[in-house]
Structure 1
Amino acid sequence: MAGEEATRQESVEQRTEAAAPAPPRTTGGTIAGLVVLVALAAVVRLLDQTLPEATEDTAIGGVVSVIEYPVYAILLGLLGNLVLTRLGLRERLSGAFRTEFFIKTGLVLLGASINLATIVSAAGPAIVQAVVLISIVFGFTWWLGGRLGLDDKLRALLSTAVSICGVSAAIAAAGAVQAKREQLAYTASLVIVFALPSIFLLPLLASGLGLEQAVAGAWIGGNIDTTAAVTAAGAIAGEQALQLAAIIKSTQNALLGVVAVALTAYFALVVERKGAAPARSWGRDLWERFPKFVLGFLAASIIATVFLASGGSKDAISAVNDLRTLFLILAFVSIGLEFRVAPVREAGWRPVGVFAAATGVNLVVGLGLAALLFTGFQVEA
């Protein structure tokens, strides 16, 4: 049985190596991809600004009025993904689809719209929520993955991704435990598959449950597994919900370095039984895995708070907010353009079942913590 499995695995690897290489990324292809990306972003901006007024007195006016730009951006990105894939151009242009860069830039700029008093006042409950939620969800996912016989490295990726911050967490965990490329690609695809519907479902559920903006934002920030999707859902739920969601997710992100270093030590000393500490210092590992855009987010908030307190014009902050919206639109379009269905289609049911169950636990526990810690919380203007 083991021999058959090894033979099958070897066959898969041979077919992978024999497959035609992806088209090379070139400067021209990246520029062309950027043109496509900007064009789609322009269409998103046009739809967001004109459709509500154009459909105001029609049967769909009520629906259109509550649709925010992340919805248009993701849908157009998925459509662009389909068209470019059919034309055989997506890989050639993919150098321009920089979701991580766009979202981190947008989140740094988001800091300029958040009063420093909000960050300070939210720090305590945000840390409590992050620590408790990560501990419960990570522990449950690790336990269930073990019960279903998943590989330890895949368990680590799934547990970190679903409990902290999705793809970024999976990447950090993969480096910590030396996971296979296929395991990382599979986990990243699962994150996106679950995050996309959450963008629309969580704001809808928050509205249906009558949650306060702060509670909705804390629930969204603590549950959706990618920073981009958190921002999209927060934008749909409302400006105050967006601000709290960003703070909560940033707090979770800040704990990523701690979790990654702990995984490094655990796999080196326990799973792989090397009996020795990792070669690099813990401090260096922690700094390398720390999401540094969080520092930019805090710096932007401090600068904006001081600027306004010293008599600065709110028009300048409005200009920064417009720039932030542009970068977030580019990020959401890129999410659609980068989405891949093949790794999910090829996966078995057990990791999907583990991820789905963990997501359910995350939703229930996260809602309870958000309601307990943020009911009555006021977001500073």
Structure 2
Amino acid sequence: MPKKTLHEDWIAVIIAFLTIGLVLLGLKPVFPKIAVWSDASLVTAQFGGVTVWGQTGLLFLWVFASLLLAKAFTGKVEVVKLLVSLLFIVFITLLAQFIASYKPIKEYGIEVVLFSLILGLLISNLVGIPAIFRPAIQTELYIKIGLVLLGANVLFQDILKAGGLGILQSVAVVFTVWYFSFWVCRKFKLDDEFRMMISSAVSICGVSAAIATAGAIEGDNKKLSHVISLVLIVAIPMMLFMPYIATWAHMTPAVAGAWLGGTIDTSGAVVAAGSVLGEEALKYATLVKFSQNVLLGLAAFFISLYWSYSRKEAGYEKPTLRTIWDRFPKFVLGFVLASLLFSFALSPATVAASKGPLKELQTYWFAIAFTCIGLETKFTDIFKIENGRPAMAFIIAQLFNIIFTLVIAYLVFGRQ
């Protein structure tokens, strides 16, 4: 029998809590600080010294150790390949931070994660990624670690305050958008597997929902890969433009955050977009997104139930309560546990002293994750399968999602 490996969600939770433990014990790494610059002399001054490179080295060692631990849990560690690949990713992320520190860009408020993404996209689509640089591209793992660490900065009192509203919005959005998406896919004459995966991805939580749905219906992996590509590609312009639309429309942080969290289909993109609007909007965006994540296990159960009983001749295994647990995103539990820890178990002084370093670690996990998203995303993939019909169905469903969720966000969070 093959050796059973630990699920990626649990690996992310373990690494995140080891990180929290080390920070609480006093290990508070200082990561690269690139000062705002406007001319070449300032650039030379920063990169000519050892400080920024020493800080970058510490960042690299921290991430590399975490990645080695993650690979050890899966039973296969290729140290040299991981080393080379991660050097490449960290260098791109450092370059993104350098670009984001340019004075006119800094004043505009554009986050480093956006430049990590853009640089990754340029390299992937214009040059291509050699195989030697691929082993450390672990996007979902990095995002999940960052999201668990985010829990340390979201106090549980805030979850109790807005979590019920987040669930209310999520239920209304998930059911309505799912059925609309399924109807659109049927109009485009897509098969049942595409309908189920696209509907779940648009309405629930993007990549995780698509993966859970594919597992529940034993879907085609090629179709799943295409849906994941659609999620990542469409999330990019949403992440870039929706925060500025929210600012232009003078939305409150609660409404703007709920809108972002309810529509953008990847958790990392939600965090990046929410960060552009500030901590308050980020809080609501995260709470709404996690409210949708909470529904993922139940959605997978009902999808599995429907698929099993609507295709009795295929002999699918009947779903059980185990299905709910297996499909539930475990990193959400990590987020809640981290929030409980910093809300109730630790002293205010300890929380104040450790939240800063954890916030920096969280930011760098997201920056590295977005470098990876760019590196593994090909714009040409959107046109390859079935003459672009899945892509058109996905985009139309997502446009409906954007409009409907905005209305619900105003109704639910308009008085926050």
Question: Which string of whole-angstrom CA distances, capped at 9 and with x for unpartnered residues, describes residues 328-371 of structure 1?
Answer: 11111111111123432212232222112111111111101111
Question: How many angstroms apart in 1 are the aligned matches of 2:113 and 2:314?
Answer: 48
Three-state SS of the structure 1 residue aligned to 2:312 is coil
Three-state SS of the structure 2 residue aligned to 1:246 is helix
Query: Residues 152 and 275 from structure 1, CA distance in 2 versus in 1: closer, same or farther, beyond 3 angstroms?
Result: closer
In the TM superposition, what is the alpha-carbon distance from 1:311 to its structure 2 partner? 4.0
Three-state SS of the structure 2 residue aligned to 1:95 is coil
- Partner in structure 2 of residue 206 of structure 1: 246
Decide which of 124, 146, 153 is 1:81's aligned counterpart: 124
Decide which of 87, 90, 94 is 1:35's aligned counterpart: 87
**1:291 aligned onto 2:291:** no
- Partner in structure 2 of residue 10 of structure 1: none
Question: How many angstroms apart in 2 are the aligned matches of 1:93 and 1:43?
Answer: 17
Q: Is the 8 A contact 2:239 2:272 kept in 1?
A: yes
Give the alignment's Cα RMSD to 1 decimal: 2.0
**1:351 aligned onto 2:403:** no
> Higher mean Cα deviation, 245-254 or 36-45?
36-45
- Partner in structure 1 of residue 207 of structure 2: 167
**1:249 aligned onto 2:289:** yes
Three-state SS of the structure 2 residue aligned to 1:67 is coil
Question: How many angstroms apart in 1 are the aligned matches of 2:158 and 2:397?
Answer: 30
Question: Which string of whole-angstrom CA distances, capped at 9 and with x for unpartnered residues, describes residues 311-339 of structure 1?
Answer: 43512111111111111111111111111
> Higher mean Cα deviation, 248-257 or 310-319?
310-319
Decide which of 183, 204, 228 is 1:143's aligned counterpart: 183
Three-state SS of the structure 1 residue aligned to 2:219 is coil
Task: Give the letter for the 2:389 counterpart.
Answer: R
**1:268 aligned onto 2:308:** yes
Q: Is the 8 A contact 1:265 1:277 kept in 2?
A: no
Q: Is the 8 A contact 1:308 1:314 kept in 2?
A: no
In the TM superposition, what is the alpha-carbon distance from 1:62 to its structure 2 partner? 6.8
**1:197 aligned onto 2:232:** no
**1:300 aligned onto 2:324:** no
Question: How many angstroms apart in 1 are the aligned matches of 2:164 and 2:252?
Answer: 19
Question: How many angstroms apart in 2 are the aligned matches of 1:263 and 1:340?
Answer: 29
Three-state SS of the structure 1 residue aligned to 2:102 is helix
Task: Give the letter for the 1:165 counterpart.
Answer: C
Q: Is the 8 A contact 1:70 1:329 kept in 2?
A: yes
Q: Is the 8 A contact 2:194 2:223 kept in 1?
A: yes
- Partner in structure 1 of residue 368 of structure 2: 330
Question: How many angstroms apart in 1 are the aligned matches of 2:201 and 2:280?
Answer: 26
Question: How many angstroms apart in 1 are the aligned matches of 2:108 and 2:400?
Answer: 32
Task: Give the letter for the 2:339 counterpart.
Answer: S
Question: Which string of whole-angstrom CA distances, capped at 9 and with x for unpartnered residues, describes residues 59-101 of structure 1?
Answer: xx2785321112111112223324661xx61x33212011111
> Higher mean Cα deviation, 25-34 or 169-178?
25-34
- Partner in structure 2 of residue 17 of structure 1: none
> Higher mean Cα deviation, 251-260 or 63-72?
63-72
Question: How many angstroms apart in 2 are the aligned matches of 1:235 and 1:193?
Answer: 20
Structure 2 unaligned segments of length 5 or more: list them.
1-76
Task: Give the letter for the 1:69 counterpart.
Answer: V
Question: How many angstroms apart in 1 are the aligned matches of 2:313 and 2:159?
Answer: 42
Task: Give the letter for the 1:288 counterpart.
Answer: D
Task: Give the letter for the 1:39 counterpart.
Answer: F
Q: Is the 8 A contact 1:130 1:248 kept in 2?
A: yes
In the TM superposition, what is the alpha-carbon distance from 1:204 to its structure 2 partner? 1.1
In the TM superposition, what is the alpha-carbon distance from 1:158 to its structure 2 partner? 0.4
TM-score normalised to structure 2 length: 0.77
Decide which of 210, 213, 220 is 1:180's aligned counterpart: 220
Question: How many angstroms apart in 1 are the aligned matches of 2:333 and 2:149?
Answer: 12
Q: Is the 8 A contact 1:269 1:275 kept in 2?
A: no
Decide which of 113, 117, 128 is 1:70's aligned counterpart: 113
Question: How many angstroms apart in 2 are the aligned matches of 1:351 and 1:172?
Answer: 19
Q: Is the 8 A contact 1:70 1:235 kept in 2?
A: no
Query: Residues 338 and 310 from structure 1, CA distance in 2 versus in 1: closer, same or farther, beyond 3 angstroms?
Result: same
Question: Which string of whole-angstrom CA distances, capped at 9 and with x for unpartnered residues, describes residues 9-34 of structure 1?
Answer: xxxxxxxxxxxxxxxx9543222111
- Partner in structure 2 of residue 365 of structure 1: 404
**1:102 aligned onto 2:142:** yes
Question: How many angstroms apart in 2 are the aligned matches of 1:310 and 1:199?
Answer: 34
Question: Which string of whole-angstrom CA distances, capped at 9 and with x for unpartnered residues, describes residues 31-66 of structure 1?
Answer: 211111111222223333x313xxxxxxxx278532
Query: Residues 278 and 31 from structure 1, CA distance in 2 versus in 1: closer, same or farther, beyond 3 angstroms?
Result: same
**1:51 aligned onto 2:116:** no
Q: Is the 8 A contact 2:382 2:388 kept in 1?
A: no
TM-score normalised to structure 1 length: 0.84
Query: Residues 317 and 143 from structure 1, CA distance in 2 versus in 1: closer, same or farther, beyond 3 angstroms?
Result: same
In the TM superposition, what is the alpha-carbon distance from 1:275 to its structure 2 partner? 8.7
Three-state SS of the structure 2 residue aligned to 1:371 is helix
Query: Residues 214 and 248 from structure 1, CA distance in 2 versus in 1: closer, same or farther, beyond 3 angstroms?
Result: same
Q: Is the 8 A contact 2:383 2:391 kept in 1?
A: no
Count of residues paired in the alignment: 339
Query: Residues 140 and 33 from structure 1, CA distance in 2 versus in 1: closer, same or farther, beyond 3 angstroms?
Result: same
Question: How many angstroms apart in 2 are the aligned matches of 1:236 and 1:187?
Answer: 27
Question: How many angstroms apart in 1 are the aligned matches of 2:78 and 2:184?
Answer: 44
Question: How many angstroms apart in 2 are the aligned matches of 1:127 and 1:51?
Answer: 40
